[in-house]
Structure 1
Amino acid sequence: MPHHSRLSSLVLDCPVEDLAEAAAFWSRALGKKIASVDQDGDGRYAELETAEDEPIILLQKVDHAARVHLDIESDDIDAEADRLEALGARRIGFVKRWWVMEAPSGHRFCVVRRQRERFGPHLNRWE
Structure 2
Amino acid sequence: MSHRSRLAGFIIDCRTDDLDAAADFWSQALGVRIADRDAGDDSAEYQQFGDTPGDLHIEVQKVDHDSRVHLDIESDDVDAEAARLEALGARRIAFVKRWWVMEAPTGQRFCVVRMKHPERGAPPTEWD
TM (norm. structure 2) is 0.91
The equivalent of 2:22 in structure 1 is 22
| Segment of structure 1 superposing worse, 11-20 or 52-61 | 52-61
TM (norm. structure 1) is 0.92
The equivalent of 2:7 in structure 1 is 7
The equivalent of 1:77 in structure 2 is 78
Give CA-to-partner distance per residue, 1:8-44, whole Å, 9 cap, x none: 0200000012311111111111110100123124461
Distance in 1 between residues matched to 2:116 and 2:18, nearest whole Å: 24
User: Is the contact between residue 50 and residue 56 of structure 1 (CA under 8 Å) also seen in structure 2?
Assistant: no
Give unmatched runs, 5+ long, in structure 1.
none
Distance in 2 between residues matched to 1:100 and 1:52, nearest whole Å: 25
SS in structure 1 at match of 2:71: strand
Percent identical? 57
The equivalent of 1:31 in structure 2 is 31
Give unmatched runs, 5+ long, in structure 2.
none
Q: Which amino acid aligns with 2:107?
A: G
Distance in 1 between residues matched to 2:6 and 2:87, nearest whole Å: 17
Give CA-to-partner distance per residue, 1:41-64, whole Å, 9 cap, x none: 446111111348331111111111
User: Is the contact between residue 56 and residue 121 of structure 2 (CA under 8 Å) also seen in structure 1?
Assistant: no
SS in structure 2 at match of 1:53: helix
| Segment of structure 1 superposing worse, 81-90 or 39-48 | 39-48
Q: Which amino acid aligns with 2:94?
A: G
Give CA-to-partner distance per residue, 1:90-117, whole Å, 9 cap, x none: 0001001100000000000000001336
Please state how far the C-alpha of 1:123 moved relative to its aligned partner.
Answer: 1.3
**RMSD between aligned alpha carbons?**
1.7
Distance in 1 between residues matched to 2:53 and 2:35, nearest whole Å: 13
SS in structure 2 at match of 1:100: strand
Structure showing the higher strand proportion among its residues: 2
Distance in 2 between residues matched to 1:74 and 1:46, nearest whole Å: 22
Distance in 2 between residues matched to 1:74 and 1:83, nearest whole Å: 11
Q: Which runs of 4+ in 1 moved over 6 A?
A: none
| Segment of structure 1 superposing worse, 50-59 or 92-101 | 50-59
